[in-house]
Structure 1
Amino acid sequence: MKLQKMFWMISALALIGLLAACSSPTPPPAPTPVVVTLPPTQPPPPQPTTPPPAQPTTAAQPVSASSTDAFAYCTAVGNLDAPDARWTGPKMPDAVVNGLIQAAKLSPTMPKDVLAQQSFWRCMNNKVYACMVGANLPCQEKADTNKTPTAAMNDFCKANPSADIPAVVTGRATVYSWKCVSGKPTVDKELFKADARGFLSDFWYEIVPGASAPSASMANPASVNCVQKGGKVEIRKDAKGGEVGYCVFPDKSECEEWAYMRGECKPGAKATTVTKADNGKMMQAASGSIIEVTLEGAPGSTGYAWSFVSGNNAVLKPQFDPAKPLDQYQAGAAMPGAPGKFVYKFQAVSAGSAMLKFVNKQSWVQDDPKAETFSVTVNVK
């Protein structure tokens, strides 16, 4: 009996050991996690910055809606080739007229209303500039710096292979003098300069506020050139009623002052006088010379007045206003209605032929049967 109990005890122990060997091992306990606490994150300190340099700006200065001060106006607008709608003053302010008389060295006896009608002003670099057109100056034209000949120049040189090209062909705004070389237009030399706005700087004067007119008498570079070379300047009316400067020399010959400066006319070219006895004739004249047509008349007593009908302005340029025939009348005796004479002057500006035609009639009669005509043909070489 004891042996049987021992057997069962040993068997039970063996079974328990066998079961223990076949079972999964118990995993070791998990290690305790280590928690590391970091200090709170701080944003990086701001880096010092250098602000970009301020860009210079030019603020447009306001112009009063009733701006009548030319100097304040130009200070405000800066640059304008002609006053705009903001300018409400006169076309040519007195202050600018006075300044032009001084800057251009005009005669103080020149009527200011005439000067105002023949002048222009503008703004450049916040300053006032003015120009007078009375002596054939191209005030409103920009300087022509083109060295390419025009069709008119080509045509002129075909007919005049070795001649100087007159301003009436080149245009007065050109900065060059031109001549024909072997029948082709060629730039001879530079005469003038253009300013910052493109105008001929030789003819535009800076006007100073508060300027007063001096007692000098030189109007422009052509006048100065005339006097320096022994001539005397005379101002006459042109075909548009403006004023033209003539250089009269000691021998009584004369040249339009700009034609003289450009070399288109020389001293010694005396005026060719044409009278009624030359009616229907053909005459010869030199380029640059003056053709003076003198016709007798008595408009005061008869109502008949000579007037210029037609010609060729490209060859013979009228030095008077054709629309005002009585302006050319010179009275004879002091008695009212006494006969006098009509004097018409023409400048020979280029080679060619021109037939000058005149009529003597009563202006209020459309088809006057008693009208008298006169004509003469002038060939300019």
Structure 2
Amino acid sequence: MTAFSTIGFLAPALLSAFVAAAGVAPAPAAAVQDLYSFCRQVKNDDTVRPYSHELYSGTVKAFKKLFPDAKSAPQEQELQTQANYRCMNGKVLACFVGANLPCAKMNAARDNPGADEFCKTNPNDDVVPAFATGHDAVYSYKCASGKAVVNGSAWALDERGFAKKLWAEVPRR
């Protein structure tokens, strides 16, 4: 069993279905020859870029930092479907898409139409599920008399608006 399946990552086909169902189409990112140099130059770039084999070693180290309990390192094919990069403060950061692990910039709006709709048909549920709020919602919600009510924050954000605990620096070596 691989580290990805051990911690519940989506298979590539399910990931595509998740992205389509969430209504979020990944925008194609411009190719960058040397992402380390690019990030040092631009400092911050919120473009989420796909996996690059040139960053394999550092990507595996970032994975191990984010998932210290994983039994093994991810395979190349798993990295191709789940690893993403962006630049912050001149550094390359990695995130690994999976079940309830969004690598996109988070939705910090307190008003959530999906939660509102869910609560109309589930007027007193204690939890509004992520499929209703969107996996990128910062806040968690409950239903009170048919209305969505914020009852906590699911994600702490970094200064660029991404979930802090989902991103780790990709060391050069």
C-alpha distance in 1 between matches for 2:34 and 2:57: 9
Instruction: Supply the RMSD in Å over aligned alpha carbons.
Output: 2.5
Say whether 1:72 aligns with 2:37.
yes
> What residue ranges of structure 2 are gaps of 5+ in the alignment?
1-30
For 2:149, the equivalent position in structure 1 comes to 186
- TM-score, normalized by length of structure 2? 0.69
Matched-pair contact (CA < 8 Å) for 1:97–1:116: no
For 2:14, the equivalent position in structure 1 comes to none
> Aligned to 2:88, which of 124, 127, 133?
124
- TM-score, normalized by length of structure 1? 0.33
Q: Alpha-carbon deviation of 1:183?
A: 1.2
CA distance 1:143–1:77, shift in 2 (3 Å): same
For 1:144, the equivalent position in structure 2 comes to 107
Aligned residue pairs, count:
139
Range with greater deviation from structure 2 (103-112 or 71-80): 103-112
Residues 202-242 of structure 1, C-alpha deviation per residue, up to 9 Å, x if partnerless? 211122222xxxxxxxxxxxxxxxxxxxxxxxxxxxxxxxx
Counterpart of 2:61, as a letter, is G
Residues 93-113 of structure 1, C-alpha deviation per residue, up to 9 Å, x if partnerless? 213322322221344343133
Matched-pair contact (CA < 8 Å) for 1:119–1:132: yes
- Percent identity reads 34
C-alpha distance in 1 between matches for 2:54 and 2:148: 39
Counterpart of 1:174, as a letter, is A
Which structure carries more strand by proportion? Answer: 1
C-alpha distance in 2 between matches for 1:94 and 1:103: 14
1 or 2 for the larger relative contact order (CA 8 Å, sep ≥6)? 2
Matched-pair contact (CA < 8 Å) for 2:52–2:80: no
CA distance 1:83–1:200, shift in 2 (3 Å): closer
Matched-pair contact (CA < 8 Å) for 1:92–1:116: no
User: Which of structures 1 and 2 has the bigger CA Rg?
Assistant: 1
Which structure carries more helix by proportion? Answer: 2
Counterpart of 2:84, as a letter, is F
Say whether 1:153 aligns with 2:115.
yes
Residue pairs, 1:1-381, within 5 angstroms: 68-82=33-47, 90=52, 93-105=55-67, 106-139=70-103, 141-150=104-113, 152-163=114-125, 164-210=127-173
Residues 31-83 of structure 1, C-alpha deviation per residue, up to 9 Å, x if partnerless? xxxxxxxxxxxxxxxxxxxxxxxxxxxxxxxxxxx964432332122111237
C-alpha distance in 2 between matches for 1:98 and 1:176: 30
Matched-pair contact (CA < 8 Å) for 2:39–2:92: yes
CA distance 1:98–1:70, shift in 2 (3 Å): farther
